């Protein structure tokens, strides 16, 4: 079915007319609170004052043209060392996120699905994931999984995203197609069960069926507490993930925020009208 057709849109609306999770967005205080965040890379300021609050259970879509700073924001939130935060604050679950190591941010439940997943030759998926899962368990004061417990978990989670068992036996992302890498990102997310996920163009490079599997996989993994920032250029992913709030990032600032309608308007009209609105601001 053509995604622009009325039938497709009506079908999507009907499928999502009942909330997937009750209590969505009704968490106590904010889960993530970003205030006046400025960040640079190689001395060049990319983020120029981001303000963003995400509550428990909310899914926020982040849209904007290439180069706007979407991946930069993602990388800053997970603590990528190449980015320097020059101003502002970020609190996560009431803690100073910027003061935490990248490892502790992951242990606290932040997960980034990379726009360009890296290959790690010589490190098998099994060993990589086992180390990651057990590190996280240790942080939470839980005992390490035994080999058989771990393999059972792998099998369960692999099924959710229909990841081929053969891939799980290879080195991390080595020789994976673009679509397989993206599917593997969601598999990793499934294994780590984050409370806050950032999906950075996870839909790019996926065919329609893989997109559906990845999106449905995300929805299956989601709990009423799971929050996310979903970065995408396409309405199709948002049809599945149903964002509560949509933001437009332009030149390192959030210049427009709205409901799901805003994403639909962008799909139809592009970004130029938003740029013009920004230019005419006093
Ligand atoms: P988006 O994800 O919205 O497309 P990015 O956050 O990737 O945007 O990039 C924002 C800006 O930062 C771009 O102008 C890009 O060229 C610049 N940039 C990103 N990485 C680097 C880097 N390593 N060195 C210099 N500039 C960079
Ligand atoms: Mg990007």
Q: What is the mean pLDDT of the chain?
A: 88
**264-281 average pLDDT score:** 91
- What's the token pair of residue 200? 């950075």
Ligand 1 site residues (CB inside 6 A) read 41-42, 44, 46, 64, 66-72
Identify the pLDDT of residue 32. 97
Share above pLDDT 70 across residues of the chain, in percent, rounded to a whole number: 89
What pTM was estimated for this model as a whole? 0.88
Task: Report CA dihedral (185, 191, 195, 199) to the nearest 10 degrees.
Answer: 10
Residues near ion ligand 2 (CB < 5 Å) are 70-71, 115
Ligand 1 atom closest to the CA of 68, numbered from 1: 3
Residue nearest to atom 21 of ligand 1 (CA): 41
> How many A from CA of 67 to the centre of ligand 1?
5
52: CB partners within 8 A, 6+ apart: 32, 33, 34, 60, 247, 254
Identify the pLDDT of residue 18. 35
Q: What is the pLDDT of residues 170-213, one digit of tens each?
A: 899 998 888 888 889 899 999 999 999 999 998 888 888 889 98
Identify the pLDDT of residue 167. 85
**136-146 average pLDDT score:** 95
Name the band, by pLDDT with cuts 50, 70 and 90, for residue 136: very high
Name the band, by pLDDT with cuts 50, 70 and 90, for residue 282: low
- The residue count of the chain comes to 282
> How many A from CA of 221 to the centre of ligand 2?
24
Mutate to test the pocket of ligand 1, among 39, 40, 44 (most ligand atoms within 8 A of CB): 44
Q: What is the pLDDT of residues 47-102, one digit of tens each?
A: 999 999 999 999 999 999 999 999 999 999 999 999 999 999 999 999 999 999 99
Ligand 1 atom closest to the CA of 115, numbered from 1: 2
242: CB partners within 8 A, 6+ apart: 16, 20, 59, 260
Identify the pLDDT of residue 2. 55
Residue nearest to atom 17 of ligand 1 (CA): 67
Domains of the chain, earliest start first: 6-279 (3.40.50.300)
Share above pLDDT 90 across residues of the chain, in percent, rounded to a whole number: 68
> How many A from CA of 228 to the centre of ligand 1?
21
């Amino acid at each position: 079915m053509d995604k622009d057709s009325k039938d497709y849109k009506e079908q999507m609306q009907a499928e999502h007319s009942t909330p997937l999770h009750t209590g969505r967005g009704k968490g106590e205080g904010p889960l993530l609170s970003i205030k006046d965040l400025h960040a640079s890379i190689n001395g060049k300021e990319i983020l120029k004052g981001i303000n963003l609050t995400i509550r428990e259970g909310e899914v926020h879509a982040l849209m904007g043209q290439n180069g706007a700073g979407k991946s930069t924001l993602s990388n800053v939130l997970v603590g990528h060392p190449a980015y320097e935060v020059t101003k502002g604050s970020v609190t996560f679950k009431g803690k100073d996120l910027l003061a935490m190591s990248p490892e502790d941010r992951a242990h606290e439940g932040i997960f980034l699905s990379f726009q360009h997943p890296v290959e790690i030759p010589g490190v098998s998926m099994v060993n990589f994931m086992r180390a990651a899962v057990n590190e996280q368990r240790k942080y939470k004061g839980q005992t390490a999984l035994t080999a058989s417990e771990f393999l059972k978990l792998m099998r369960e989670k692999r099924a959710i995203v229909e990841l081929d068992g053969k891939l799980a036996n290879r080195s991390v992302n080595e020789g994976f197609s673009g679509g397989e890498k993206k599917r593997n990102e969601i598999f990793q997310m499934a294994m780590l069960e984050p409370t806050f996920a950032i999906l950075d163009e996870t839909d790019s490079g996926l065919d329609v069926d893989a997109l559906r599997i990845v999106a449905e996989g995300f929805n299956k993994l989601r709990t009423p507490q799971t929050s996310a920032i979903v970065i995408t250029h396409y309405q199709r992913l948002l049809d599945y993930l149903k964002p509560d709030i949509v933001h437009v990032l332009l030149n390192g600032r959030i210049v427009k925020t709205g409901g799901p309608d805003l994403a639909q308007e962008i799909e139809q009209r592009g970004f130029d009208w938003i740029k013009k609105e920004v230019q005419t601001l006093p």
